[in-house]
């Protein structure tokens, strides 16, 4: 198969709580490895990382209210995708991060099938979407 870019939009769900930037080194390594494995399931053989501007969306669906700052989950996720989805995280020109807890209302219009799966899960889920900038 000839070389090609990883197909976008890329959508990944991990059914677990995300690891914070302040988490243990071992925990972050495992979390990032899990993200890479999920992405590899969607990678055609011989594909390569994107070089252009990209938009990333991260949605964290919790089963209960969780303490902590949402921004602390972002860096480990972005770092995990580096050199697999994109060459460098400087390519990310748009970033949306949302935490949805059961006690807070949520409105997502026209979710993709993958996002709908994360939304309706009974366990914690982290949904990650990567698209070309301007198409997110």
pLDDT tens digits, 19-71: 998 889 999 999 999 999 999 988 877 788 898 999 999 999 998 888 888 99
Q: Which residues contact 45 (CB under 8 A, 6 or more apart)?
A: 1
With 0-12 / 13-18 / 19 or more C-beta atoms within 10 angstroms meaning exposed / middle / buried, residue 86 is buried
Its pTM stands at 0.91
The residue with greater pLDDT, 104 or 85, is 85
Domain housing 14: 4-132
Please give the tally of structural domains in the chain. Answer: 1
pLDDT score, position 136: 55
- At 57, which CATH number? 3.30.1330.70
Is the pLDDT at 13 greater than 90, yes or no?
A: yes
CA angle 125, 130, 133 (to 5 degrees): 145
Listed residue (68, 70, 90) closest to 79, CA to CA: 90
């Amino acid at each position: 198969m000839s070389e090609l870019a990883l197909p976008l939009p890329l959508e990944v769900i991990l059914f677990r709580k995300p690891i914070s930037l302040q988490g243990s080194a071992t925990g972050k390594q495992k979390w990032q490895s899990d993200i890479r494995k999920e992405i590899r399931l969607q990678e055609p053989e011989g594909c390569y990382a994107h070089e252009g501007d990209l938009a990333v969306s991260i949605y964290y669906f919790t089963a209960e209210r969780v303490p902590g700052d949402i921004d602390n989950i972002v860096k480990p996720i972005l770092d995990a995708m580096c050199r697999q989805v994109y060459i460098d995280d400087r390519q990310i020109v748009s970033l949306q991060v949302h935490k949805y807890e059961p006690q807070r209302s949520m409105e997502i219009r026209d979710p993709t099938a993958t996002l709908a799966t994360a939304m309706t899960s009974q366990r914690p889920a982290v949904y990650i979407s990567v698209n070309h900038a301007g198409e997110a």
